[in-house]
Every structure is written in C-alpha cells, then in structure tokens.
Structure 1
Amino acid sequence: MPGLLTSQNITNKVSLIIGTSPLTRIRALKLLDLGAKPIIIGSTSHIASGKIQHIDRPFELEDLTQLGRSEVNKVVDNVFVTLSVSYINVIETISHECERLRIPINVADNPQLCTFTLLSTHTDGDFQFGVSTSGKGCRLANRLRREMANVLPVNIGEICNKVGDLRERLYEEDIKDLKKEVDAQDGLQHHDEIGQEDDDAIQSSTLNTLIIENNETFQQKKRQRIRWLSQVVEYYPLSKLSSISINDLTKEYKKSDLQDKNQKEPASDNTVIKKGKISLIGSGPGSEEFLTTAALTAILTADLILADKLVPSAVLNLVPRGTEVFIAKKFPGNAERAQEELLERGLEGCKRGLYVVRLKQGDPYIFGRGAEEYLFFQKHGFTPDVAPGITSALCAPLAARIPATHRDVADQVLICTGTGRKGVLPNIPEWVETRTTVFLMALHRIGDLVAALETKGWNLDVPCAVIERASCPDQRIIRTTLKDLVAAFESAGSRPPGLLVTGYACNVIEKLSDGEKWRIEEGASGLVVKFTVAIGEPPVRFRAGAIFIPK
C-alpha cells in the first residue's frame, strides 16, 4: 500500500547502517552527502570515506540506544539494514526492536520489515522529487525517475530559487506596509496573525510586536499575495521563470496592491475604482478531468465564485484557499429565491470591483438559465464573458458507451428537459424511431414522464439508459427499456444528478441479454478519465465494476 511521502531534514542525525554489503557504501555516502552522521556496524576491509564512523564488530541490540545523539538519550535516529537474506532471523529481530523503540527502519529487499522505504530521487539545487514503487522494484523506480527528469527544464533548480526569492520579497513588502499601518494606529491593542504561507494552505504564526486595528487587513494582503504569486507560477513559462526580474515583478505586485486598495476603499475625487467583471463558466459533467482550460483559469483567478449545489466537490476542491465561495441551496420550493440570491451576490461583487465567476454544471446555456443571467448582468452594466462546458447531455451517453448518433440507427439527437416552469411536465416530443432523445432533470418524476411518452405514441420497447453522476467515480448506469424503466429505477434508488437517454442507439454497443429486464453498472466506464505522462502510451481507463442483473 502506498505510504506517506515526506522530505526529511536529517542534518546531524545519526543513521545506523547494519551490514557491509556493496549497498552499505552507497547508503553511507548518500547519507553523508545529506548532512547525516552515518555509523556502519560490521566487518569490512574498506570504508570509502574517513568521515564515516565504522565499528568493526557484529551488531548488538544495545547499539540502537547507545550510539545516538545525547539530546535524544542516545537513541539512533534511523536504521538501515543491508544484511543478506541469509541473516533473516537477525533482520527480523532488529526490525521488531526498532518498531518497539519507534526507530524508523529500512531493510534492503524486505519491504514487509520496513517502516519506511527510500525513493529514487532527482535533485537540482533545492528542487527534489522522488519516485517510489513501495518496495516492488528499485530498477523500475530508477527508470521512471530518469524518464520524468528528462522532461524537466534543465534549470529547474534556478527556477525554485527565483520563485523562493520572489515569495520572500513579496512577504517583506507586505510586512513593511503592515508596520506602517501599525505605527499609524498609535498602539491600538489588536493583533493579527501573520507568517509565511504554503502555496496550498495558509499557515500563520503570531508576531506579538505587530499590532493593527482591523483584523482583516493583513489577511487580505496574504490572500492577494498568494493569489498573485500563484498566477505567476502557474502561467509564466517555466523556461523563463529562472530569468525573471525580482525587482520588476515586485513593482508589478505593488501596483496590483494599490489597485486592490483603490477598489476596496470609498471613492473620492482622486480615486478610481476598478470595475468588476463576471464570467459564466461551464464546469462540465462532473469529473474535474473534463474542465476546459478556460474554466480552470477562471476558477484559479476568481475573487468570488457562485456555484450550483450540483457542482461536484472534485471541482470545488480546485478553488484556491482564501477565495470566497457561495453555493446556491436550490432545494425544492426554494429554487427561485436561491437564484435571486445568486444574482444579488454576483451583482454586489461586480460593484465592489471583484472578478465574479458564476460556476454552472455542464454548459451554461443548456437548461442552466445562462442566458437569463447574462441578460440580468448586462442590464446592470456588467456584460459577462461566457465559457462553454461539456454538457452531460452529450458526455453521459459517451460514458455509458452509447453513441448519440450511428449510421442506420440514429441520425439526430434531441435534448429535452423533463421539468417545465413551476415543475409541470414540458411539451413532450413526438416519437421518431431514428432519434436519440436525452431528457435532463427528469428522474424525479420518471413515472409521469413514461406515462406522457406512452400517451404521445412512443414505443415502450425502445431501449433506454439512466446515467447518474456521469464521469464521476460513483457513476451508475441503469440499462433497460421504457416499459421497465420505472421498476428498474425504483429498485436501484436515486443517485442525482442524472439523466435519461432513449433510442435504439442505446443498443449499438451494449445490449441486454435475453431475459434481462435491466442491468445496473457501477463505476466510471467508457471515458478516458486519467492520462499517462509518457507520450505515446495508451490511456488508462476505468471499467465498470459489479453488475446486478435481475431476471
């Protein structure tokens, strides 16, 4: 099972190496290079470096608690065993004793006796990455590490240094501004938490010497700094990052800081408020793998995100920490008021000069009120940008291995809603044998819909499929016919959001066997949802899991 990958500072830590195989020398030199103090125990005729302590005798259990640093009661910091498998009884004893003493141990060629394994690493300055196969194959890990290193910029170490310098400079600039605010407040006894931040999670420490009145002031600076630096790292070409001018970027940051202040402070005769903007963004069918680059860019750069409750957590998890997110609670009977609240919050954000992203599942204009929202914001002076999304109406059939069109089977596709204004059934289309019809927002009243289709003259023997949470890991497909649809759906229960696909195209690739009334398939299938790193290798696909077949 994969373990927790960490990068440890082992400077001046005592590493005990037990055994004198050729691997011993490799381990000792690597540890020495990383600043550790390796000690080798065992008989050998040659030690590669005079800086490595060697004890020429067999190992004793007491060595674990006698050869370490005095500040940790002489317990060694970690243990490496390089003995051959012929010493398996001794190795097991050492492993069990280390586990009892909570000493990390690595045993060569015995991953089951290890509490940690070593990665095949690539290092360039402060940049380092490692590859682990959890002890399954060192040569494979080495090859993968070489393949990955070949696609890195040749100056990746310089890039890390430059980004680190920029991060530190921006932090220092914000501290200077904060101290000015503190001095101007004449000793008001309020404090704020400040500190260096991880790019993924704001972590802060309290500096009691810095005092400000408004507890949000520096927090706002932190959020702006993280967002600004993240955009530089994300969108600046990697090949150019090592040569960027810290001074020039710092000046640009200060300009953006001034603009940020201008948009938040009350307008005056000499103040120009930055005008906000809004984008209507389609988040796709469900999986974050199917976001467009335009959608991802909007998510990463927004000041305020307004999302539908059906936007999955996998997509929302991409929102940077510190970005305000409001999720509409469009529960039955509350949809209209929830929509009004979204519009009000979006308009308020635009008036405050923010970049507002209205994140909508699927495509903004396919039964998503996108045009209504466009007209609303346009009426109030903010014309939205619109980024399309992959609609589930087309993605879900593909996920279920249903070709929406197929020669001599289906020559047209119709996308309908199953819910009209105020919850009533919409106008039901006529039955067309060569059409694939997709019903969105119809599963909550599937019985009424089937009855209406029958009244309209539809052939109830036509194959159909309910596809729920398309492209997500918990995707589910119910394959059946219209006449058995209600019974099949009731037996499975609801897993929204979902849609209904009808038409003979449902039988082109997947067919029910003789005697099957319906089939339930669990798990994402039919879509390429993960991609390999190496060019030219086939993609990895998720296939359907358990199948339940009632007779």
Structure 2
Amino acid sequence: MGYTTPRWVRLWLALSSVIVLWDVGYCLVRPRSFPGGSLAWIWAPYNMVPYVDVDWLYGWPAFENGDGFTNAQAVMNIVETIFNFVSLWLGDHPAAPVIALMSLVMTASKTDLYLLQEVFCGWCNTGHNPRLRFWTVWVMTNCTWIVVPTIAAAALAWGLIRDLSRHSARLDGLKHHAVAVQSPQAIVAKAEKARDPFPHAVGGAPLPLTFHPRDRPVLVVGSNRLAASRVLTLLEADAVVHVASGRELSELPEEIQWRASNKEVHYTRFSGGRDEWEQFMREQGITLVAVTDTLISSGAPSLETAQAIHAAANALRIPINVSDRPDFSTFTFPSVHRFAGADGPSNLQVAVSTNGKGCRLAGRIRREIAAKLPANVGAAVDNIGQLRARAKPTISDDDSITPLNKPVSQKGGEDHLRRMRWVHQMSEYYSYDQLAALSAGEMDSVLEGEAPYPLPHHEGGIAKRGRILLVGSGPGHPSLLTVAARHALNNATLILSDKLVPAEIIALIPKTTKLHIARKFPGNADNSQNEMMELALAGARAGETVVRLKQGDPFVYGRGGEEVLYFREHGFEATVVPGVSSALAGPLMMGIPVTQRGVADTFVMCTGAGRGGAAVQLPGYQKSKTLAILMGVARIDTVLAALTGPDGPQRDGAAYPRHLPIAIVERASSPDQRVILSTLENVAGAIQSVDQRPPGMILVGWAAMCLEGKGRVDILDGADEKEAVETWLAGERFRTREGLPADWSWFPSA
C-alpha cells in the first residue's frame, strides 16, 4: 500500500465539509436565512453577530443589488465538499490523498480570491466594521480557511512526492524488467529476430569449463594462505604443482612447507622480470598459473610483478589467474563443493562463480546448494558413471543428445543402444536414494535385460525407507518445545517416548499416532534402552517415521550418542533435534541464574550416577563456580558425602563448605514445579520432609540465592557468607517455592 491521507487531514476534511455545507445553505436560501427570516434559527450563530452587518456580501446590500459572487462561491463550495466526501470514502486508496489535495488547494485559493477581492475594492464590504470586530470576526475566521488547508495541502504534497520518489527508485532498479517505448525500427528488428530459427548469442558471459590437469605442471606464485589453498585444489586435480616465491621456504605457510618436505610440491625461490618468468615457465612446461600475492620480492612493486607474470603467461598462451586482478586474469577459480561418495570423495562437484563480482557471496551460494542436495547424491553420480562404463563400450556419446523417450529397436546391434537409453531413463526418473543403493549385480542385470529394472512410478510394491529422529522435548512446558520438535511430533508415524517426558508434552501427540512409552525403572535402564532402540530400528525398516522422544536435550545425559551409533551401525543415520536442557532451563524457571557477575563466573554440569549406577567423581569447590548435578536427587546422601567429605577419589578438589546454598529443582516448567532451597548441611533433612517430585536436579553454589529479594551479588567481593545465608533463609533450615510464575499462563500450554 502506498501513501495514504493522514488522519488529522481526514478529520479536517470531515469537519470543514459540515461547516461549508452549512454556509452554502445560508447563501442559497437568502433572505430566509437572515435575521427575522423563516429559517434564521438554523443559522443562529451567524445571526447572533449578526454576520449580515459584518460582511455585506453575506447581507442585504449584495442581495438587493443582485451580486452573484455570493451564490457563485456557494456553488464552488458544493464542488469542494464533493471532493472531500470522495476522498474520505476512498479511505486508504492511493487516489484518496490526490483528491484531498485538489480539494484543499481549491479551499485555500477560493478563500484567497475572496480576501483579494475585498482588498482591491478598498474594503467595500467590510471596511465599515469597528477594528476589533473586523479582525476577530472577519479576518481571523477567513484566514483559518487559508492557513489550515495550506498546511494540509503541503503535508499531502510532501507525502506524495516521497512516495513517488520511492517508486521511481524501485523502477530504476528494475529497468531491465521494464517494457520500454521503442521506435518503429526497433520493433521491426525485434520481430525479425523472433522469426530467426536459432537463438541469438548474448555476449559478456565467461565460459565455464572443467579443466583436467592430471600429470600436467602447474604454477602457484605466492607465499600466503591462499597459495596453500590453491596448492591443495590443484593437488586434488592430480596436477604436478610448482610453487614459486621470493621468500625462503621457512617463511611460507606451514602447510606449504609440509607439502614441500613430503615431495608433494616443487618449491623454487624465484624473482625476476618478464623474460625470466617466461623462461621459467617454458623450462618447467607450465600449463596453468595461479598468482595469489604478487609482491614476491622486496624491491618489486606488486603491480609490476603482476604485469610481468601476466605478460609471460600470455606470451606462452598459458591460462593465468591473478588474485583480485581480473584485468590480469584469463580465468577465475569458482567456489567448489565436492560431494562425498560411498568410499571417499565422489565425482560430483558443484562450482559457483560470480566472475569476480562477489567471491564471498559465491561461497554462500555454494554452501546453500550443497545443503539442499541429498547427502548420497555423490554416490548416485558414481553409480551412474559405472552404469555408463558398462553400457558404453559399443555406444557413441552422440546418443546423449537423442530425445529421452525416442523408441529404440530391440534387434541386433541396437541392443547396446537400448542399454544406454536405460541409463538415461534411470538418470532422469530414479530417486537419488535408489541410484546410490545400486549394487554391481543390479547394474549388470538391468543392462543385460535379465531383470528389467522398473521405473519408480511403476514400483507399487517397493517398501519405503523410514527415518529416525532423536527429539529433545525440553524441560516440560509445551511452549518450550522447539518448532522442529513440534513438527516431528505432528508428522511422526511412531513415537517412542522416555518415561519422564511430561504428560503435557505427550498430550500434544496426535491420537492417531502410535505411541510407546519406555518401561524404565531402577535396575532396568539398560534393558529399556535396548528395547527402545530395537523398536525404533524395526519401525524405520518398515518405512515408519520414528521419533525417539527424550526429555531435555538428547545429547545432555540423554544417551543420545549411544542411539546414534547403534542406528548408524544398522544402516540408519538418525537426525538429532536439540531440546532446551533442564540443566539451564530448570534453574531459570525458579529465578536462579547459573552465572551472575559478582557471584558465579563458571558453570559446571555433571551427572550424579555413572554407567550401571557406579559412583562418579565430582569437581572440587570453587567459590565462583555453579555446579549442576543431573540424576543425583535419588542419591543425595552419596552426593553430599562426596561434596563435603574428606579428600578422596569421589571428589577432584577442595571440599564444599556445609553452609553453601543448594537448590533442588523438581519438574521444572511444569505446573507443579518446585524448588527446595537450603544448605548442604540441611538439604537431606529438607528432602525427607517433603514428597519428592521427579525428575529433579541439584544446583550447588552461591548463584542459588543471588536473586532472592533485593539480591546479593557481592559474594565474590568478600561478603559475610554465613550472614548472607542466614538472611536468605530467614533463620529456617530450608524453604520451598511451588508453581509457575503467574505470567506463564500467557504462554500456550497445549
């Protein structure tokens, strides 16, 4: 939507229209509108003055003399009011401010004419008034109809000009898309071109090629990191790489030094003019030159060196690229991505070139193209190459330009042509997954006609390959699910959930989706884990979209890594969807920061139980550190003994003071969330005094109390620790807080 009439201007148009119509009626029904007339009551404000005595154009003299100016002005006022009403009716339509501008200009100019007429007639209609009444009743009221419309018109004009300028700039940027007004000769020429049987060449485009420098000598001139990158690119193309620079080898990047010591490149310290470079290139048989930095000696200016190398390469007709100097380059290096194959790099490469206009942008475009293609597209290309190799011995490359679906005879030597057409059909219609999965036996069967390989749209009975997603459900509140997690829950066909995933999350799963919840209990954790992995694998093999739903984040004590490796071993690469970890969200939901300036500058997270329930070594005490312990509430006595007991293998570092604050966070972000606030000395008794609400976590450190009340952020500055704890707990052994903050009702819970 373009520029629209400002609201204050619309208000003026509406108000002025009512007043103007009222004035029009006064003029057109004279003398019945005059004092004593039958309609005088309608125009009581005029007649109270009375206005017939102020301005004789509105009074008896003009009426009795038959002066037509008054009624002529009234008719123009009607036209003005129509403009106002049309503008108001159009609202935000682009034409509304234009019509409003016309009306405002008309109002101001009409009133100007009225005043000028009075000036040039020597104040013949108003000069008889006392000065006060002249200025207040006649001048001020009439000037209002000049000043306000003029300001409003200026505002509209400025707004319209700015809007037109923006559109003009946009059109300038799209000139190549615009249909220009052409001369008759140009139109005729264009029509003749359209009748030509073949397209006309449009110059200015460099020629993209793939160059194969296998076993050919190439030269990299430079001593910077870009030179090392160019060397690697050329080595991957199997070229014989020479590196030249005016510096000692020891001054070059470590990568070039390493490759030279391993005989991967030939290094020459070299400097000279055009003749010396030409002789060097001729002696070495150089076929391509890449210059990355042209200041190869302390005495040679960069431009002169580049010119010398460029001239030498041109004299020998050798392609050359000089970094950041397109005027000295006959080719450019595109941004290249090489896709992985089944066994190492594949033959598929994607190259993006901006022809020197945007190298950084080329890299971004290349990354986005690579990210959108399937990971196995390289293996698909390699398999098509093998198919071509098997079908090609008796076929010509010219067949690659034959129409794809042209019928082919099955007789005699054309059997080989049929094989090649099969390759073309498969390249066009098969999915990348199917092409990447072709075995050597399947390739031979297809080409020999022993097992006709059907096209995908004829494959009604082929089972679809499923997928597995490890999805973090966050701490518990539905609004803390990521968008990706919510999408996975809505589109999965089988969901395998951990037991501790809150009911609020489970309630979001569509009723039609198959759901299995882990049968996990103390002593059965490993069996439950194995069962869930086997169910996920069976579902994926049956073509299901399987979601392994885990509380928090799959990789934060969620055993997600074990599942990734298990599924990979059985042929499935699981997609891992992050979740908000309770280690961070839990304290936050209780108003506890895990780091806080002046209180805690280090955050450490660990588990309270190792594999098979074995004890773990906890970190030692550090005043500025916050320690989060997951899966430790059920083992609180063991955890406290490790933290506060004598030095031993259960703790790596100093013992924790018994007055140190501790928070037990339970069911964080659920409606019944709770935090138990206490000290290491009293927390065990506090937990025994209340019913446990798993899952829970332990947070140890001064951060547990730093935002209570007015806050205490001076602990690291030497505050009295015991006095601070006494104030925090108000003399109690522990305190609890329950429930979500009131404002969390604003967030969706389903």
Shorter chain as denominator, the TM-score bin is 0.3 to 0.5
Instruction: Return the TM-score normalized by structure 2.
Output: 0.35
Report which of the two has the higher share of strand: 1
Q: Does 1 or 2 have the higher relative contact order (CA < 8 Å, sep 6+)?
A: 1
Instruction: Return the TM-score normalized by structure 1.
Output: 0.47
* Higher-Rg member (1/2): 2
Report which of the two has the higher share of helix: 2
